[in-house]
Amino acid sequence: MELPRFMVRVYALIVHERHLLLSDECYQAQHFTKFPGGGLEFGESPPQCLAREIREELNVALAGYEHFYTTDFLQYSAFHNKTQLINIYYLARVNNPEIIKATYTVEPNYPKSQNEYYFRWVNTDYLQKEMLTFPMDKHVAGLFLSSLSLNKVFI
């Protein structure tokens, strides 16, 4: 009997000068847009994962974070059969966000090669949850936009 599998993913909502950072990626021949971040490794805490992913993907250091949202509904992985996702999202501040290699556009720029990603800053005035690919990220984008309208998120 195969045991149920869980995958914990940790993501950053990084805002800089009224822009939110998105990641356009290619994996298993599929193109998608998500928030920067990735999988929790055995032995690390979610904040340690957040710091590692930011360092690896963006080449900047994590300056601070605040928990924003953790999965509260069933979500299966789009890539791994019989795997349930548990996603943790943080509002994150990074050192020197201006040095992140990213474009300023609402249009996605998908890489052509496997396991590559391109970053883009999307002005929060033009951000729509439909810009993200996965149901969980769309849900979080909606929560983020609601927080903006209620002035609960400092940008």
Domains of the chain: 5-149 (3.90.79.10)
Q: How far apart are CA 65 and CA 42, in angstroms?
A: 21
Q: Which residue has 């999965």 as its token pair?
A: 71
pLDDT of residue 115: 76
Name the nearest CA neighbour of 19 among 132, 124, 146.
124
pLDDT of residue 38: 94
Q: Which residue has 């609601």 as its token pair?
A: 146
How many CB atoms are located within 10 Å of the residue 139 CB? Answer: 19
With beta carbons less than 8 A apart as the criterion, state whether 121 and 103 touch: yes
In the chain, which ranges are continuous DSSP H helix?
Answer: 46-58, 135-149
- How far is CA 105 from each of CA 27, 81, 130, 131, rounded to the nearest angstrom? 22, 33, 15, 12
pLDDT of residue 154: 55
* Tens digit of each residue's pLDDT, the chain (155 residues): 565 688 899 999 999 999 999 999 998 778 999 999 999 999 999 999 999 999 999 999 999 999 999 999 888 877 777 888 899 999 999 999 999 999 999 999 998 888 788 999 999 999 999 999 999 999 999 999 999 877 766 54
pLDDT of residue 113: 84
Angle at 28 between CA 22 and CA 32, to 5 degrees: 25
Three-class secondary structure of residue 123 per DSSP: strand
